[in-house]
Amino acid sequence: MRTDSKIAIVGQGYVGLPLAVLTSNAGYFTIGIDTDQVKVMALKSGKSYIEDVGDAHIQEVIASGRYQPSSDYSLIAGADIVVFCLPTPVDTENQPDLSILLHAVNKAAPHFREGCVVISESTSYPGTLRNLIAPVINSHGKSAVRLGVAPERVDPANTSFMPNQIPRLVSGLDSEATERVKEFYESLGMIVITTSTPEVAEAAKLLENTFRQVNIALVNEFAKVATALDIDVREVIEAAATKPYGFMKFSPGPGVGGHCIPVDPHYLTWISKKHGFQASLVELANEINDEMPKYVVSRFVELFPDGVARKQILIAGIAYKYGVSDFRESPALKIISLLNDMGAHVSWYDLLIREHRGENSSDLESAHDGVVVTLPKLELPLGRWVSSGVKVFDCTGFYGDVEGLHQL
């Protein structure tokens, strides 16, 4: 692609903002569209709200003139490439909710230039590009637009793999679209793998995260079995992991969180049912991981013979994983809710989240009767807590060298 091409990226979150920085650094003039005015103002002032993108990165691409954050969809006009990086959550019934994505496509479509390439990085079920996105675009008389998918593979706070080290699956509704999407991602230094249809790429993304959901559910269930047998589940996992083939290590925890693993498998089960098949194993994995906060609370409450009512309880970590400020679907929030329902006085601490629902991160020096640790790598006074009689339940296994902890 020409380096003077104009790129528009709709959605400046954990997926879209790193992509915008990447395209800007590759020499493209990039428009970053987001409807959140607070985010847009932060970006214009050179401030990042995402851990993987530093303030210096934003300031550099803005100063270069290659990046313009805005809420104005009309700035998409003239773009050679338009990429949608928007959340695709589930509703209260765990049904796919594509309203954010389709609303954005509907707002952006009038501004597509003839022959531009439109790419969806948003995760969804097979057929979304062909059966939902394409009709919306065609309804605006933009049938000459080339459509493709490139499902995102972002893992926030993972420093082991840079974006250009993670192969990208791409495909288009026709061969020209496929080639142009491939060319775009290759111009960013990425390894690109094409699939025969967009449906294959869309399905692969669901399989990737469903694989993780199912295997996490397996070790979470195995943790319950190991507890019943009075066996250290993590020692068992480490022993099994010495096998050089046929085994992949997963670790138990308080549940799953974030925008992918708790959500994507529901897209798979939903589309399966639409086609007359029930994905029973996937549904069971969803249930097992959804129930883990209840299991954690039940184990924790056992440490208090007279119950947790009126006890001062601290939850150490409310983000869904270490190193991010994202608490979407975090199991820690479910643990807080369950303990509140039991009459406990619950506070929380998080390294990156300072405020949530009108509450501030707690002082670690405050007095606590019990602590539930949901994230690894936190600098916590565990030894002092345990020696002073505080009941500490570690969901992570990271702090196993501290004597006196109770572990999942």
| Structure confidence at residue 34 (pLDDT) | 97
Q: Which residues contact 279 (CB under 8 A, 6 or more apart)?
A: 268, 269, 272
Give the tens place of pLDDT for each residue, 288-304.
999 999 999 999 999 99
- Domain 6-196 fold: Rossmann fold (3.40.50)
pLDDT bin (cut points 50, 70, 90) of residue 363 is: confident
| Structure confidence at residue 161 (pLDDT) | 77
| Residue 329 host element (H or E) | none
What's the CA gap between 225 and 208, in Å, rounded? 26
pLDDT at 385 over 90: yes
Q: Per the residue annotation, which of 85, 116, 260, 395 is the catalytic one? A: 260
Q: Quick one: tokens of 121?
A: 């990085």
Q: Once rounded to an integer, what is the mean pLDDT over residues 370-393? A: 95
- Assess whether 395 carries a catalytic annotation: no
pLDDT bin (cut points 50, 70, 90) of residue 401 is: confident
What's the CA gap between 222 and 224, in Å, rounded? 5
| Structure confidence at residue 165 (pLDDT) | 82
For residues 145 and 107, the answer to whether their CB atoms sit within 8 Å is no
Same fold, 6-196 and 211-407: yes
Q: Once rounded to an integer, what is the mean pLDDT over residues 12-19? A: 96
What is this structure's pTM? 0.93
One DSSP character per residue, 340-367 reads HHTT-EEEEE-SS--EETTEEPPPTTS-
Give the tens place of pLDDT for each residue, 123-182.
999 999 999 999 999 999 998 899 999 999 988 877 777 777 899 999 999 999 999 999
| Residue 106 host element (H or E) | helix 99-108
pLDDT at 1 over 90: no
Q: Once rounded to an integer, what is the mean pLDDT over residues 18-44? A: 96
Tell me the CATH class for 211-407.
Answer: alpha beta
Q: Which residues contact 273 (CB under 8 A, 6 or more apart)?
A: none
Which percentage of the chain shows pLDDT scores above 90? 89
pLDDT at 265 over 90: yes
What's the CA gap between 105 and 107, in Å, rounded? 5
Using alpha carbons, select from 267, 260, 393, 380 the residue that is nearest to residue 324: 260
Which alpha helices (H) appear in 120-256, and where do they start and end? Answer: 128, 134-138, 175-186, 198-228, 233-240
| Structure confidence at residue 65 (pLDDT) | 95
| Structure confidence at residue 259 (pLDDT) | 87
What's the CA gap between 18 and 53, in Å, rounded? 6
Q: Which letter does DSSP use for residue 112 in this model?
A: P
Tell me if residue 117 falls in helix, strand or coil: strand
What average pLDDT is seen over the chain? Answer: 95
Tell me if residue 304 falls in helix, strand or coil: coil
pLDDT bin (cut points 50, 70, 90) of residue 184 is: very high
Q: Is 307 left (phi over 0), alpha (psi -120 to 50) or beta?
A: left
What residue ranges do the domains of the chain occupy? 6-196, 211-407
Using alpha carbons, select from 125, 167, 372, 72 the residue that is nearest to residue 263: 125
User: Burial level of 161, CB count in 10 A (0-12/13-18/19+)?
Assistant: exposed
Give the tens place of pLDDT for each residue, 52-92.
899 999 999 999 999 999 999 999 999 999 999 999 999 99
**Rg of the Cα atoms in the chain:** 23
pLDDT at 357 over 70: yes
